[in-house]
Amino acid sequence: MDVSWLDDEHAPLFTVGQVADMLAVQRAFLRRIDEMQVVSPARSPGGQRRYSRDEIGRVQRVVVMMDEGMTLPAIRRIIELEHQLAAITRERDELARQLAEHHRNSR
């Protein structure tokens, strides 16, 4: 029996109730951050939210930022900018790799 999916940090395994209990937050808070597209978990075939370990970590981060006085729109924007920066960094790294390869091949 293959249970390798249990090791996948992106596997949507946890319900709203389980996550709320784990993080000591209200279920309504989890629904709100989903509605505001701050952390949007996968949905089960029946339409219920299912959180991965990665998403649980992101919810924890949102809680910390809110405790520091940030609003949900500000948190969403920070997360968007972090994703953009990561994409640009990946693109830069790929271009640097291609340039290095080009230099090696032109010698």
- pLDDT for residue 6: 65
- pLDDT for residue 8: 83
What distance in Å separates the CA atoms of residue 79 and residue 82, rounded to the nearest whole number?
Answer: 5
Does the model's pTM come out above 0.85?
no
pLDDT digits (tens, 9 = 90+) for 40-59: 999 989 999 999 999 999 99
Task: Name the band, by pLDDT with cuts 50, 70 and 90, for residue 98.
Answer: very high
pLDDT digits (tens, 9 = 90+) for 65-96: 999 999 999 999 999 999 999 999 999 999 99
- pLDDT for residue 5: 60
pLDDT digits (tens, 9 = 90+) for 1-43: 666 666 788 888 899 999 999 999 999 999 999 999 999 999 9
All structural domains of the chain: 4-105 (1.10.1660.10)
Spatial neighbors of 39 by CB under 8 A, at least 6 apart, are 30, 33, 55, 58, 59, 62
Mean of the per-residue pLDDT values of the chain: 92
